[in-house]
Amino acid sequence: MTHQAKGGARVLVFLLALAIFIHALDRGNFPTAAPLINDSLALDNTHMGWLLSAFFLTYVPGHVLAGWLVERLNAYRTLSLGLAAWSLATLLMGLAGSFGAMLALRLLLGIGESAGFPAASKLLAQTLPHEKLGTANGLIGAGLMLGNGIGVLLGGMLIARFGWHMLFFVFGGLSLLWLVPWLTLISGPKDQGAAAATVDHAAPSYREMLSRRETWGAMLGMFTSNYPYFIVLSWLPLYLVKQQGYSLTTMAWLGGTVYLLGALVNLIGGPYIDRLIANGGDAAKLRKRVILASSSIAVACMGACATGKPAFAVAGLLGYSLSIGLGPIGTFTAGQTLGGPRAAGKWIGLQNGAGGLSGVIGPALTGVLIDATGDYRVAFLFATLIAASGLYFWGVMIPKVEPLEWSPAKPR
């Protein structure tokens, strides 16, 4: 890779990380504003529940469509369309004055954001050598964590000062600005930077991919990896305030710390793994160990929260930042490696789509378990068991994290 190409690849990775940061920011702004929206639109809990879950109703199946579009339009255009759609949906939420309008925009947000990870993974797989994927995914994972943490803090301040409408105007407008450098990158000279990598080889069909045990291992593994993540993302504030008795201020700082520590682990862990590989380490074993370490830490941390003891709960939540920090370095790098440059977009579409299902099931099931038992311990115990099953899916169903062989590409 020439110096110019390396520079272009760095710009590409930075813009992809920024896109995922925006992805997390725009996905989380509605829950932040939910209490005020609930009062403003005079919604009952049932209608608010529909609005909270509507995102996932299109986000999950949208991954399959996004994987297909990555191959038909190419990853650059797919990400452009996806980000434009979800940014406009965010912006227009500030104008929504009814349940129906807000529901339609939440559905549009989900379908737009479903393009994020499949397109980003395709671009990384076709642009970077495998020994650089850890660093790139670490940066993208940091963007995801920072988007979660900063979104709550910045969103809360905007709402407190200007109201919930302004939150969507500001976040949606700033998100659209990302398209300026992105469109400049992909419209530049083809021999400069990462924009050169626009020629795709036809990906294998979904049928062929679903015939492989490794695909199912990654899909089920991503579900189990994301389950505790979505529990923490959805229920952490209520858990800390209602179950553990912390103040709102303490809750905000503790919750923010979990995501910021996760971002730090991403930024340190990705380059560290790549350096080990560059120094002769076995890439397949190292990638797999990262995933299994992330899953094992999640098991221990969810188990600590399940005890119900405040000290263990805080230790578990802070320790969980290590799990979510290692997660993107392992799971997305594994998917990009197994699928290879040909299949990475579709592979991550399937893998992350299955992971998104935990966002549909986990938060709702947690509420049922809390209502049935009167506290959060059983819900966290169930999350512990789900995380533990991931050790089988990632560890046994995927023997080695190495590129799979696909049938020869057919002419389009």
One DSSP character per residue, 86-129 reads HHHHHHHHTT--SHHHHHHHHHHHHHHHTTHHHHHHHHHHHHS-
Residue 190 domain-assigned? no
Q: Quick one: pLDDT at residue 196?
A: 40
d(CA 382, CA 47): 27
Q: What span, in angstroms and rounded, lies between the C-alpha atoms of 94 and 246? A: 31
Q: Is the dihedral of CA 372, 373, 374, 378 positive or negative?
A: negative
Q: How many domains does the chain have?
A: 1
Residue that the structure tokens 């398209």 belong to:
179
* Residue 308 DSSP symbol: -
Helix (H, G, I), strand (E, B) or coil at 18: helix
Task: Indicate whether 340 pLDDT > 70.
Answer: yes
pLDDT surpasses 70 at 411: no
What's the rounded Cα separation, in Å, for the pair 82 and 191? 26
229 φ, ψ to 5°?
Answer: -60, -45
Taking every pair of C-alpha atoms in the chain, what is the biggest distance, in angstroms? 62
- Residue 400 belongs to some domain of the structure: no
Task: At 274, list the tokens.
Answer: 């790549």
Residue for token pair 């520079």: 7
Q: Is residue 247 part of a domain?
A: yes
Q: pLDDT confidence of 62, banded at 50, 70, 90?
A: very high
pLDDT reading at 326 higher than 60: yes
Tokens of 354: 């299955």
What is residue 98's predicted lDDT score, i.e. its pLDDT?
92
Q: Tell me which residue of 368, 373, 260 sits closest to 317, measured CA to CA.
A: 260
pLDDT by residue (tens digit) across 190-236? 434 444 444 446 789 999 999 999 999 999 999 999 999 988 877 77
Nearest to 179 by CA among 103, 112, 93: 112
Range of the domain at 171: 3-185+200-395
Is residue 22 a contact partner of residue 154, using CB atoms and an 8 Å limit? no
CB 251 within 8 A of CB 384: no
Provide the CATH number for the domain around residue 330.
Answer: 1.20.1250.20
Report if residue 334 sits inside a domain: yes
pLDDT at 375: 82
Q: Which residues contact 260 (CB under 8 A, 6 or more apart)?
A: 145, 146, 149, 321
Per-residue confidence (pLDDT) for residue 199, from 0 to 100: 44
Mean pLDDT is highest, among 14-18, 256-260, 377-381, for 14-18
Instruction: Express each pLDDT in 363-373 by its tens digit.
Output: 888 888 888 88
Number of alpha carbons in the 13 Å side-chain half-sphere of residue 211: 9
Q: Given a cut of 90, is residue 72 above it in pLDDT? A: no
Q: Is 205 in contact with 212 (CB distance < 8 Å)? A: no
In the prediction, which pLDDT does 190 show?
Answer: 45
Answer yes or no: are the C-beta atoms of 266 and 142 closer than 8 Å: yes
Domain annotation covers residue 406: no
Quickly list H helices, 41-74: 45-73
